């Protein structure tokens, strides 16, 4: 976002205010989260549910983009290759980025989309258009909720990069606005579409791992260079490390294992406990990069280097969830699914199934891909080649457009977005209270109890 807005608050000041105010509000209400199955902002009405929600087919799907930096541009490249998509408008506070996307569309032989770059809130003008079906945001985290709410309130479906929200109230706001407006609100969790995770999901759904009772997941990514590069995410992401301590980025690891555990589809998150190690990594890195007397090296960072959260579900499953973006380490999302008949692991990729695998020996995944590769990957592997993150970004975008064009429920819904994202404020509260258990709100208001399809398992 730009350094100016209608309220005359620059981006860094906005982030500081938003983080402090949002966390303060969340902390005040979280004590009731485990007992309260209604909204903290106003109870939903019977029949308002978005479970299995679908709309009449939309073809073509007309998109307005808000935020076309790294990830936003990657999504645009995907949509330019997907049939049945029209990019009508592009919004970014950096005018050059808007112009770049406009040029891409013209080079692809498509009409030039309208540009919006008058400041932080210019997305409101984009949302007022009557020729847009879907507003897609890939902005800094603090803007995800305002943009999604504006989109839904003006009659558009909303898609957002991760996380969807980082306060309890904002999670409820997304849910309640989607229910009231009768519009989709999807968090684009691309890691649910990575090939090993989808293979694992297919093994689970086929029963080859038995009953799943434990999972491990996480986001372990050395982002020290990204946070202090002087461009891109470094313009806003470090301030979260200054102000907040918990699992700030849970959904990459949590999304795929939640699908294996039927979260919101027969089970739900019940409570969590969380704790963080001391904060050292960012100070040490900045002392080497900028000098020990630099402001960056002397800055106090609230974020502990490693956060570990334990999540217990209503049905007695347990998830161990990790977060570490401050340590020197190779990338990993972990991803372990333990069942009564076997175990699947990623990082490294391997599987053990009792009665099939050699006794007490891991197997590589080659033969399992031949026999049990997820049908979505079988269908879209060729089309996804060359797309971001090994192709999973393309598959994620393709599945969204396909569902909207076909008038079918989406692979993930607003309840998934809220349940996976609310881990962040709950973990912050638990860390602040010496690991005290924090109850999850029931965003579905009891709708989770009925098993229902996981639509990513359906291929037409």
What is the 3-state secondary structure of the chain?
CCCCCCCCCCHHHHHHHHHHHHHHHHHHHHCCCCCCCCCCCCCCCCCCCCCCCCCCCCCCEEEEEECCCHHHHHHHHHHCCCCCEEEEEEECCCHHHHHHHHHHHHHCCCCCCEEECCCCCCHHHHHCCCCCCEEEECCCHHHHHHHHHHHHHCCCEEEECCCCCCCHHHHHHHHHHHHHHCCCEEECCHHHHCHHHHHHHHHHHCCCCCCEEEEEEEEECCCHHHHCCCCHHHHCHHHHHHHCCCCCCCHHHHHHHHHHCCECCCECEEEEEEEECCCCHHHHHHHHHHCCCCHHHHCCCCCCCCEEEEEEECCCCEEEEEEECCCCCCCEEEEEEEECCEEEECCCCEEEECCCCCCCCCECCHHHHHHHCCHHHHHHHHHHCCCCHHHHHHHHHHHHHHHHHHCCCCCCCHHHHHHHHCHHHHHHHHHHCCCCCEECCCCCCCHHHCCCCCHHHCCC
- Distance, in Å, from the CA atom of 164 to the CA atom of 141, rounded to the nearest integer, reads 8
Closest CA to 432 of 26, 15, 16, 142: 26
- Distance, in Å, from the CA atom of 151 to the CA atom of 136, rounded to the nearest integer, reads 9
**Residues 323, 325, 330, 332: is their CA dihedral positive or negative?**
positive
**Domains in the chain: boundaries:** 192-377+409-457
Which residues partner with 214 through β-bridges? 318, 338
Return the structure tokens found at 330: 């190779």
How would you class 290 by CB atoms within 10 Å of its CB: exposed for 0-12, middle for 13-18, buried for 19 or more? middle
Q: How would you write the pLDDT of the chain (460 residues) with one tens digit per residue?
A: 433 333 333 433 433 434 433 433 333 333 333 333 344 333 444 348 999 999 999 999 999 999 999 999 999 999 999 999 999 999 999 999 999 999 999 999 999 999 999 999 999 999 999 999 999 999 999 999 999 999 999 999 999 999 999 999 999 999 999 999 999 999 999 999 999 999 999 999 999 999 999 999 999 999 999 999 999 999 999 999 999 999 999 999 999 999 999 999 999 999 999 999 999 999 999 999 999 999 999 999 999 999 999 999 999 999 999 999 999 999 999 999 999 999 999 999 999 999 999 999 999 999 999 999 999 999 999 999 999 999 999 999 999 999 999 999 999 999 999 999 999 999 999 999 999 999 999 999 999 999 999 999 998 7
Which residues contact residue 288 at a Cβ distance below 8 angstroms, ignoring those fewer than 6 apart?
A: none
Indicate the pTM of the whole model: 0.91
Residue 263 φ/ψ, nearest 5 degrees? -65, 135
Which residues partner with 136 through β-bridges? 65, 159
- Distance, in Å, from the CA atom of 85 to the CA atom of 53, rounded to the nearest integer, reads 21
- For the domain made up of 192-377+409-457, give the CATH fold: Dihydrodipicolinate Reductase; domain 2 (3.30.360)
Closest CA to 339 of 204, 453, 206: 204
């Amino acid at each position: 976002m730009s350094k100016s807005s209608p309220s005359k608050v620059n981006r860094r000041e906005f982030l500081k205010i938003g983080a402090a105010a949002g966390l303060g509000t969340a902390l005040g209400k979280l004590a009731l989260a485990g007992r309260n199955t209604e909204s903290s902002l106003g109870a939903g009405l019977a029949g308002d549910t978005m479970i299995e929600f679908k709309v009449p087919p939309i073809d073509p799907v007309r998109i307005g983009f808000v935020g076309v930096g790294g990830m936003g541009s990657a999504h645009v490249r995907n949509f330019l290759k997907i049939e049945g998509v029209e990019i009508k408008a592009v919004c970014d506070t950096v005018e050059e980025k808007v112009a770049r996307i406009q040029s891409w569309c013209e080079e692809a032989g498509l009409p030039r989309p309208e540009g919006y770059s008058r400041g932080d809130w210019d997305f409101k003008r984009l949302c007022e258009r009557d020729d847009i079906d879907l507003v897609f945001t890939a902005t800094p985290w603090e803007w995800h909720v305002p943009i999604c709410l504006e989109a839904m309130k003006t009659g558009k479906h909303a898609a957002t990069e991760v996380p969807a929200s980082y306060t309890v109230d904002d999670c409820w706001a997304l849910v309640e606005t989607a229910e009231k407006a009768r519009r989709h609100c999807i968090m684009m969790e691309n890691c649910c579409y990575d090939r090993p995770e989808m293979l694992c999901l297919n093994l689970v759904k086929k029963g080859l791992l038995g009953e799943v009772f434990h999972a491990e997941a996480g986001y372990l990514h050395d982002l020290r260079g990204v946070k202090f590069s002087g461009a891109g995410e470094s313009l806003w992401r470090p301030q979260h490390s200054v102000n907040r301590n918990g699992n700030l980025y849970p959904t990459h690891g949590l999304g795929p294992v939640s699908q294996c555990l039927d979260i919101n589809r027969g089970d739900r998150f019940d409570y969590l406990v969380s704790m963080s190690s001391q904060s050292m990594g960012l100070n040490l890195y900045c002392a080497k990069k900028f000098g020990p007397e630099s402001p960056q090296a002397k800055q106090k960072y609230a974020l502990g280097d490693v956060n570990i959260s334990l999540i217990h579900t209503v049905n007695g499953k347990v998830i161990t969830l990790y977060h570490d973006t401050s340590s020197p380490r190779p990338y990993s999302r972990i991803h372990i699914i333990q069942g009564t008949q076997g175990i699947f692991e990623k990082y490294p990729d391997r599987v053990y199934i009792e009665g099939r695998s050699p006794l007490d020996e891991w197997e590589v995944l080659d033969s399992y891909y031949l026999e049990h590769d997820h049908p979505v990957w079988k269908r879209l592997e060729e089309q996804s080649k060359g797309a971001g993150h090994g192709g999973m970004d393309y598959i994620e975008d393709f599945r969204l457009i396909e569902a909207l064009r076909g008038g079918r429920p989406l692979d993930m819904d607003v309840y998934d977005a809220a349940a996976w994202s609310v881990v962040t404020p709950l973990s912050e509260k638990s860390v602040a209270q010496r690991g005290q258990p924090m109850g999850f709100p029931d965003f579905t208001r009891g709708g989770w109890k009925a098993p229902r399809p996981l639509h990513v398992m359906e291929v037409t």
